[in-house]
């Protein structure tokens, strides 16, 4: 079966054509139009701006995905997401399904992130599996007993990890989107610099010793904000020249977030590295607690934050030490895309009618 899949839950406008491939899914076309540059000047996503751009982009994206291709069904993400953006994708999919007389398949956007692990020609995950879903709106642990029987087993009590990455980046004066920028800043710290200065800035690891699968990230965000505004953040770091604070040189302007001078850049990058270490330690520890409790055959990482290099490597190392298989989608399938929507439609088909409505607050299972 070939499926045209449509994704428009946030700031991306995407269409893909996918088909069955053994126990997994093969991508024939995957087209993504991003309005990221437009949102960068605002420091985040403006829902109305995103929706207006999607109105312009959705038909050209679908046309490009459908070149020389016939499809058997139409699939669309109907939630969670931004209401205006969801409406554009859902209404477009309904019109196409009606006019072509094809089945309309509804897809949970977060389910699609997880099932992106079934895309490609490599071995597909063995079930049962523990899945860690990490994005701007979700940080969840789920138990996948089969492709259709999923259970939520833990997650964040407050902010999602991806949201905290974006807010921490803004505090540090880094541009939007915050996650990749924090990753870049952290990677600029050499191991020599890290070993020398890693105790200069210490952030909490909330609930890391709690045996339950609960997580919390708002405290890390608050701690990094207090640290940046403190006098300690402006002090000399061994081996670096001190800036003249009285002369107007300061790490962060709270209104504009503009970093200045090498000493301040080092502080920013050290704090970005410490932030990455703290969040990753919590995510890995809680995932491994779930592994010990449920004894799965595989561990899956999914969601936009799954693109984070530190998290991918750290979780892979711990899972492979445990002796089970680790899966994470290719980088191009970690962020919002329509190929994952098509994968979900094929692996967990949910046919729906033309009365389908968006559900912005849909849960992960």
Residue 291 exposure: Cα atoms within 13 Å on the Cβ side: 24
What average pLDDT does the segment 185-193 reach?
Answer: 91
Structure token pair of residue 252: 């962060």
Stretch among 239-253, 277-291, 301-315 having the lowest mean pLDDT: 239-253
**pLDDT reported for residue 45:** 75
Q: Give CA–CA dist 219/100, Å, rounded.
A: 51
pLDDT for the residue 282: 98
pLDDT bin (cut points 50, 70, 90) of residue 173 is confident
pLDDT above 70 for 135: yes
pLDDT reported for residue 323: 95
Over residues 262-286, mean pLDDT: 90
Write down the pLDDT at residue 264.
76
Which pLDDT does position 41 carry in this prediction? 63
Q: Give start and end residues of each alpha helix (H) in the chain.
A: 36-40, 47-65, 83-100, 109-115, 161-171, 178-187, 191-197, 218-229, 261-294, 309-322, 338-347
Task: Provide CB contacts within 8 A for 75, sequence distance 6+.
Answer: 3, 4, 5, 6, 93, 104, 105, 106, 107, 341, 342, 344, 345
Cis before residue 360, ω within 30 degrees of 0?
no
Q: Which of 257-266, 268-277, 324-333 has the lowest mean pLDDT?
A: 257-266
Q: Closest Cα partner for 206 from 292, 279, 131, 132?
A: 279
Is residue 242 predicted with pLDDT exceeding 50?
A: no
Sorted by sequence, the CB contacts under 8 Å of residue 231 that are 6+ apart come out as none
pLDDT band at 49 (very low <50, low <70, confident <90, very high): confident
Greatest mean pLDDT among 155-164, 225-234, 241-250: 155-164
Q: Using the predicted structure, report yes or no on whether residue 98 has a pLDDT greater than 60.
A: yes
Percentage of the residues of the chain whose pLDDT score is greater than 70: 88
pLDDT for res 234: 61
The yes-or-no verdict on residue 239 having pLDDT over 60 is: no
Bond prior to 282 in cis (omega within 30° of 0): no
> Can you give the pLDDT at residue 111?
97
Residue 138 has pLDDT above 50, yes or no: yes
> C-alpha angle 243/247/252, rounded to 5°?
65
Taking the C-alpha atoms of residue 152 and residue 138, their distance in angstroms, rounded to an integer, is 12
Residue 332: DSSP 8-state: G
**Number of neighbours of residue 359 by Cβ within 10 angstroms:** 17
Residue 324 has a pLDDT of 97
Of 118 and 48, the structure prediction assigns the larger pLDDT to: 118
Q: Write down the pLDDT at residue 263.
A: 54
Q: Report all structural domains of the chain as residue ranges with CATH numbers, in order of start.
A: 2-119+335-352 (3.30.420.40), 129-327 (3.30.420.40)
Between 177 and 133, the more confident residue is 133
- Per-residue confidence (pLDDT) for residue 85, from 0 to 100: 96
Side-chain-facing half-sphere of 140: CA atoms under 13 Å: 22
Confidence of residue 248 (pLDDT cuts 50, 70, 90): very low
In this prediction, residue 110 carries a pLDDT of 96
pLDDT tens per residue, range 323-344: 999 999 999 999 999 999 999 9
pTM confidence score: 0.89
Q: What is the pLDDT of residues 54-83, one digit of tens each?
A: 999 999 999 999 998 999 999 999 999 999
Sheet of 298-302, strands arranged across:
214-215, 150-156, 139-144, 129-134, 298-302, 325-327
Please name which of 289, 291, 292 lies closest in space to residue 300, comparing C-alpha atoms.
291
């Amino acid at each position: 079966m070939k499926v045209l899949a449509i994704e428009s839950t946030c700031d991306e406008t995407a269409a893909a054509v996918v088909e069955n491939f053994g126990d997994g899914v093969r991508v024939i076309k995957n087209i993504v139009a991003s309005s990221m540059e437009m949102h960068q000047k605002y420091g985040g996503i403006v829902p109305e701006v995103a929706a207006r751009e999607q109105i312009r982009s959705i038909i050209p994206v679908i046309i490009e995905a459908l070149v020389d291709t016939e499809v058997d069904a139409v699939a669309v993400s109907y939630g969670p997401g931004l209401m205006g953006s969801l409406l554009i994708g859902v209404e477009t999919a309904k019109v196409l399904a009606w006019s072509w007389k094809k089945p309309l398949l509804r897809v949970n956007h977060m389910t699609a992130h997880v099932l992106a692990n079934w895309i490609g020609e490599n071995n597909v995950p063995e079930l049962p599996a523990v899945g860690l879903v990490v994005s701007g709106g979700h940080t969840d642990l789920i138990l996948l007993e089969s492709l259709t029987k999923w259970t939520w087993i833990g997650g964040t009590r407050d902010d999602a990890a991806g949201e905290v990455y974006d807010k921490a980046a803004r505090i540090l004066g880094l541009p939007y989107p915050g996650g990749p920028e924090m990753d870049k800043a952290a990677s600029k710290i050499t191991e020599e610099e890290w070993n020398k200065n890693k105790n200069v800035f210490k952030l909490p690891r909330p609930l890391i010793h709690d045996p339950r699968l609960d997580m919390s990230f708002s405290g890390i965000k608050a701690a990094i904000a207090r640290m940046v505004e403190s006098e300690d953040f402006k002090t000399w770091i061994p081996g670096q020249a001190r800036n003249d604070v009285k002369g107007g040189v300061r790490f962060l302007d709270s209104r504009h977030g503009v970093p200045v001078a090498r000493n301040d850049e080092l502080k920013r990058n050290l704090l970005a590295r410490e932030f990455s270490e703290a969040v990753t330690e919590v995510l890995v520890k809680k995932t491994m607690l779930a592994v010990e409790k449920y004894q799965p055959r595989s561990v899956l990482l999914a969601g936009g934050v799954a693109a984070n290099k530190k998290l991918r490597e750290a979780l892979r190392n711990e899972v492979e030490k445990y002796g089970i298989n680790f899966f994470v989608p290719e980088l191009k399938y970690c962020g919002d895309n329509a190929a994952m929507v098509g994968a979900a439609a094929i692996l967990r088909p949910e046919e729906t009618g033309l009365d389908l409505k968006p559900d912005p607050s849909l849960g992960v299972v």
